[in-house]
């Protein structure tokens, strides 16, 4: 059981790193394709965007670990609704954290409440949700494959049942 947990946590950390990398790439592609800024409000300051992404990645990492640890290894399966929930949670965390971070930085709560609401319809927030959904599915696929295989991959000549 301890080996399963450590494996789940390590794979979750790598999946969260992949999530961050794909988000940065997706934001760059969306920004170039639409000729828009990720954070269109210059009064928001330089830290609101990174805080929004950091909160989304943090929520995603926690969900990855909980998804992997909650179910024993032999019962792991691919759960699309779980992945959809992770995408929705990251979407909400991304949008709402922008409003909170901006309001704390400037003290203008109403303006940044409207900023958070405007983020709900942005392509960037939708990308946060879609990428979280896809990477959660891949994470579950890796866990299912590992636990069904029972151990490290083996070459055909290493399998004891062939003898």
Confidence at residue 104, expressed as pLDDT on a 0 to 100 scale: 80
Q: Would you say residue 115 has pLDDT above 90?
A: no
Picking from 127, 139, 141, the residue whose alpha carbon sits closest to that of residue 95 is 127
- Whether 7 is in a domain gets the answer yes
Helix axes 123-149, 2-34, angle to 10 degrees: 150
- Whether 103 is in a domain gets the answer yes
Q: pLDDT digits over 72-113, tens only?
A: 767 778 889 999 999 999 999 999 998 888 888 777 778 788
Q: Would you say residue 127 has pLDDT above 80?
A: yes
- Whether 27 is in a domain gets the answer yes
pTM for this predicted structure: 0.85
Range of the domain at 29: 2-150
Q: What is the mean pLDDT of the chain?
A: 87
Higher pLDDT residue, 36 or 158?
A: 36
- Whether 105 is in a domain gets the answer yes
- Whether 155 is in a domain gets the answer no
Q: In this prediction, what percent of the chain has a pLDDT beyond 70? A: 91
Cα distance between residue 131 and residue 3, in whole Å: 28
CA 124 → CA 30, 67, 100, 111, distances in Å?
Answer: 7, 25, 18, 20
Q: Taking residues 36-65, what's their average pLDDT?
A: 91
- Whether 101 is in a domain gets the answer yes
Number of domains in the chain: 1
- Whether 158 is in a domain gets the answer no
């Amino acid at each position: 059981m301890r080996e399963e947990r450590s494996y789940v946590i390590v794979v979750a950390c790598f999946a969260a790193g992949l999530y961050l990398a794909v988000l940065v790439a997706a934001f760059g592609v969306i920004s170039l394709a639409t000729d828009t800024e990720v954070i269109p409000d210059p009064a928001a300051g330089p830290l609101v965007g990174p805080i929004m992404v950091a909160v989304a990645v943090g929520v995603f990492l926690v969900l990855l670990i909980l998804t992997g640890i909650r179910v024993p290894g032999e019962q792991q399966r691919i759960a699309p609704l779980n992945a959809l929930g992770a995408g929705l949670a990251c979407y909400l965390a991304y949008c709402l954290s922008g409003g909170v971070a901006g309001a704390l930085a400037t003290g203008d709560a109403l303006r940044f409440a409207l900023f958070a609401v405007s983020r709900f319809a942005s392509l960037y927030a939708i990308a946060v949700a879609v990428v979280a959904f896809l990477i959660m599915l891949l994470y579950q696929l890796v866990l299912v494959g590992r636990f069904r295989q029972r151990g490290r991959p083996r070459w055909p000549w290493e399998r004891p049942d062939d003898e």
